[in-house]
Amino acid sequence: MSDQYQPPKVWSQDAESGGKWASINRPVSGATYEKTLPVGEHALQLYSMATPNGQKVTIMLEELLAQGKGADYDAHYIDIGEGEQFSSGFVDINPNSKIPALLDRENNKQVKVFESASILVYLAEKFNALLPNNGIERTTVMNWLFWLQGAAPYLGGGFGHFYAYAPEKFEYPINRFTMEIKRQLDVLDKQLENKAFIVGDTLSIADIAIWPWYGNLVLGNLYDAEQFLQVKDYTHVRRWAKELLSLPSFQRGQIVNRSWGEEWQQLKNRHSAQDIDKVLALKHE
């Protein structure tokens, strides 16, 4: 028991023990340097990185375009590893300094939208798509959207952090968060047993929110944890994840604001549909 950690009376940050992301984590908010964000020609300006939370929005935008909505956009890469989310321009849109952040300049307005779920709802209402206008169906979609917003921190900041990124492996937190992630996968598996999508037979923002986290997880694209979590047991989630990935909007959206992986998976900045076309064409060369 003598080696057990004893919290001090007053906490202070230890820069040496924060792991991979220690240099960008801090207990205060606000900008650390002055920088104006780039602006493209479209009304919608997205500042993001292709983490699961970032993929939610780019997949949403690509699906809106696939449906013929006027949702063309510029997507600017924000390197969170280099602390670009702490620039004065980014903090002006999102004072919480987290990606993604969206600026809508339509009709000379400056609508600032942050938090990925808020962006999904904003876009769904703006373009009247992927979210029922009212009634039971809308409430059900919102149930699952908020489920994801509550569940994903366990997967990312909990399981992912201690399993993949923490400077040391600790049994207790890994076991604690693994238990929760497997429970969440079981919740999804039961929900999808007799449904094509999260809510019935129609794609919605619930699917678009959940797939980048749990779809990527069961397809082996997150944390290299598929064997550890025995993701093959969740057959309905895997079926759903594969079917969504077959959609062009998911294939296109997941590569935007990405700087890792194969060459055909990387597109830091997107200003037109042709930008994505050129990158995806590399897969077949």
Across the chain, which distance is largest between two alpha carbons, in Å? 65
- Dist. CA 173–CA 179, nearest whole Å: 10
CB contact at 8 A, 259 and 266: yes
**What pairing do the DSSP bridges indicate for beta strands 101-104 and 44-48?**
antiparallel
Show the tokens assigned to 159: 């399981």
In the numeric block, the tokens 């300094």 are attached to: 97
CB contact at 8 A, 18 and 25: yes
**Tally of residues, the chain:** 285
Tens-place pLDDT, residues 70-110: 999 999 999 999 999 999 999 999 999 999 999 999 998 99
Beta strands in the chain (DSSP E): 44-48, 73-77, 101-104, 111-114
Neighbours of 222 (CB within 10 A): 22
The residue among 107, 78, 81, 76 whose CA lies nearest residue 23 is 81
Q: Is the pLDDT at 1 greater than 50, yes or no?
A: no
Q: Is the pLDDT at 5 greater than 90, yes or no?
A: no
- Dist. CA 63–CA 52, nearest whole Å: 16
- Dist. CA 103–CA 93, nearest whole Å: 7
Q: For the chain, list the domains and their CATH numbers.
A: 1-130+262-270 (3.40.30.10), 135-253 (1.20.1050.10)
Measured at the alpha carbon of residue 135, what is the angle toward residues 134 and 139, in degrees to the nearest 5?
90
Tens-place pLDDT, residues 136-190: 999 999 999 999 999 999 999 999 999 999 999 999 999 999 999 999 999 999 9
Supply the pTM of this predicted model. 0.96
Confidence at 24, pLDDT banded by 50, 70, 90: confident
Q: What are phi and psi of 134, to 5 degrees?
A: -165, 180
DSSP 111: E
Cα Rg, the chain, nearest whole Å: 20
Mean pLDDT of the chain: 95
Tens-place pLDDT, residues 35-62: 999 999 999 999 999 999 999 999 999 9
Show the tokens assigned to 285: 């060369």
pLDDT, residue 32, reads 96
Sheet bearing 111-114, strands edge to edge: 73-77, 44-48, 101-104, 111-114
pLDDT, residue 134, reads 86
> Which residues have CB under 8 Å from 119's CB, separation 6+?
56, 57, 60, 100, 102, 113
CB contact at 8 A, 20 and 165: yes
Show the tokens assigned to 6: 């004893």
> Which residues have CB under 8 Å from 194's CB, separation 6+?
none
